[in-house]
Chains A and B, each alone.
Chain A
Amino acid sequence: MCSIVESNIICIKKKVAEKVRPMVNIVWILLILIGLVVAAFNGKIEAVTQAALDNAKYAVELCFGLIGIYALWLGLMRVAEEAGLVKRVSRKMQGVMRFLFADIPARHHAIGAITMNIIANMLGLGNAATPLGIKAMKELQELNPHKDRATDAMCMFLVINTSSVQLIPATVVALRSTAGSSNPTEIIGTAFIATVCSTAAGIIAAKILQRYY
């Protein structure tokens, strides 16, 4: 479990990982076991061995190929963080947020934390986003009359968070580039449109469902 030395967020992340891992475990083990059984029936046992060995090697090469782009991106992220980009963009976005979170009192701190978390997500600043998100949830919890039941604002916040509008999907671009794409960034625009659709659908669904739950 969590030691006293670790910060709260690392501790929460650990606990969550323990809950989520069984799902990934099942999919992973199913892929391999089904693969092996089917291979035995298809007479493809040798092909399977070959594929496993080759791909283990390829995966390592791929990770090393990613170092450069990761370095570039994490360098930029550090500059953005130190310059306080998130705070500044957040201030401009608060009007939109007030519309989505009508039930939060106008000057409450929750709005600020929510906006900053969403902006950090948009910029791809994952490390900065999680503490801001947890802060937002704690602020929202203060407004909550039933402490074990999610409020409309919490649901809306997490629906937006999970369908996050990410401006630049950096990992995907990096992977495409290492895989030899002739135009690694061509999916930024399509991903942006798709993510706008999914966020809009999530918001509409949340607004409708909150009446019935």
Chain B
Amino acid sequence: MADIIDIISSFAIPAFIFVVLVYGLLNGVNVYDSFVEGAKEGFVTAVKVLPYMVAMFVAISIFRASGAMDILVSLMSPVTEFLGVPAQILPLVIMRPMSGIASTGILAELFKVYGPDSFIGRVASTVMGSTETIFYTLSIYFGAVGIKRIRYTLWAALLGDMVGLIASVVVCSIVFGR
């Protein structure tokens, strides 16, 4: 199991690059030009993210430096220990369904404090990579066609998120060890 996951991890990006380029060539795309055209947006995107990143970084670092984070972690520890989830990733779990960009800031702060290769860093990466901004997505799509009664959609989506969170912890424990 762990071996297969390892192979997926190391081959995903090279395989993706290969498939995209070959497929582009076969379909007569001017691959180099269109790559450069897309790459131009890299700078713009990074600059667009910047103010959100500063806002979130400052907020969470104040929360941490004051000692409030320690209080939150110990308050929530009965729940998080029951679920087996590291309490330190709670702010990420709370922010994730609301805003992609704000949760990216929280993730980056976790990397800075604990390191991306720590257990917390790996679980946080996995959670971030396996969930979506539920509230935002639901409002966009239902809003676009004027649906008011969304029935069970939010509950099913949140349940999926919870399962994804627990699965992240379990899979990371198996693959990386705690």
Residues in chain A within 8 A of chain B (CB atoms): 12-13, 15-16, 19-20, 23-24, 27-28, 31-32, 34-39, 42, 44, 47-48, 50-52, 54-56, 58-60, 62-64, 66-80, 82-85, 88, 130, 133-134, 137-138, 140-141, 147-150, 154-155, 157-159, 161-164, 166-169, 171-173, 175-176, 179-195, 197-202, 205-206, 209-210, 212-213
Chain B residues with CB under 8 A of A62? 53, 108
Chain A residues with CB under 8 A of B140? 12-13, 16, 130, 133-134
Type the 1/0 row for B54-77, where 1 means its CB is closer than 8 Å to any CB of A: 111111111111111001000000
State whether A34 and B117 are in contact (beta carbons under 8 Å apart), knowing that A56-B57, A158-B138, A198-B163 are contacts in the complex: no
* Cβ-closest chain A residue relative to B69: A35
Chain B residues with CB under 8 A of A187? 9, 122, 125-126, 129
Docked-complex contact B104 and A171, CB < 8 angstroms: yes
Residue of B10, B67, B129 with highest tally of chain A CB at under 10 A: B129
Docked-complex contact B35 and A78, CB < 8 angstroms: yes
State whether A79 and B35 are in contact (beta carbons under 8 Å apart), knowing that A39-B65, A179-B111, A206-B152 are contacts in the complex: yes
In the bound complex, CA of A163 to CA of B163 (Å): 10
Docked-complex contact A34 and B152, CB < 8 angstroms: no
In the bound complex, CA of A16 to CA of B13 (Å): 33
Docked-complex contact A190 and B137, CB < 8 angstroms: no
Chain B residues with CB under 8 A of A20? 98-99, 135-136, 139
Docked-complex contact B95 and A44, CB < 8 angstroms: no
Docked-complex contact A68 and B42, CB < 8 angstroms: yes
- Least distance between A146 CB and chain B CB atoms (Å): 8
**Could you list 17 A-B pairs, sorted by A, with CB under 8 Å?**
A31-B91, A39-B65, A54-B61, A70-B45, A74-B41, A78-B34, A134-B145, A140-B145, A159-B156, A162-B132, A162-B133, A171-B128, A173-B13, A191-B130, A192-B130, A198-B164, A202-B156
- The prevalent SS among residues of A at the interface is helix
- Least distance between A73 CB and chain B CB atoms (Å): 8
Chain B residues with CB under 8 A of A206? 152-153, 156
* Cβ-closest chain A residue relative to B26: A83
Docked-complex contact B62 and A31, CB < 8 angstroms: yes
State whether A55 and B61 are in contact (beta carbons under 8 Å apart), knowing that A12-B140, A28-B55, A184-B116 are contacts in the complex: yes
In the bound complex, CA of A152 to CA of B76 (Å): 36
- The prevalent SS among residues of B at the interface is helix
Residue of B17, B35, B68, B95 with highest tally of chain A CB at under 10 A: B68
The answer, among A42, A130, A212, for a CB contact under 8 Å with B67, is A42
In the bound complex, CA of A153 to CA of B49 (Å): 34
* Cβ-closest chain A residue relative to B97: A162
Docked-complex contact B27 and A195, CB < 8 angstroms: no
Docked-complex contact B67 and A79, CB < 8 angstroms: no
The 10 closest A-B pairs by CB, nearest first: A78-B38, A71-B42, A198-B164, A169-B129, A202-B160, A191-B129, A189-B5, A39-B66, A75-B39, A51-B65
- Least distance between B31 CB and chain A CB atoms (Å): 6
Docked-complex contact A163 and B125, CB < 8 angstroms: no
State whether A44 and B67 are in contact (beta carbons under 8 Å apart), knowing that A175-B111, A182-B117 are contacts in the complex: yes
In the bound complex, CA of A59 to CA of B159 (Å): 32
The answer, among B13, B38, B107, for a CB contact under 8 Å with A168, is B13
In the bound complex, CA of A37 to CA of B132 (Å): 32
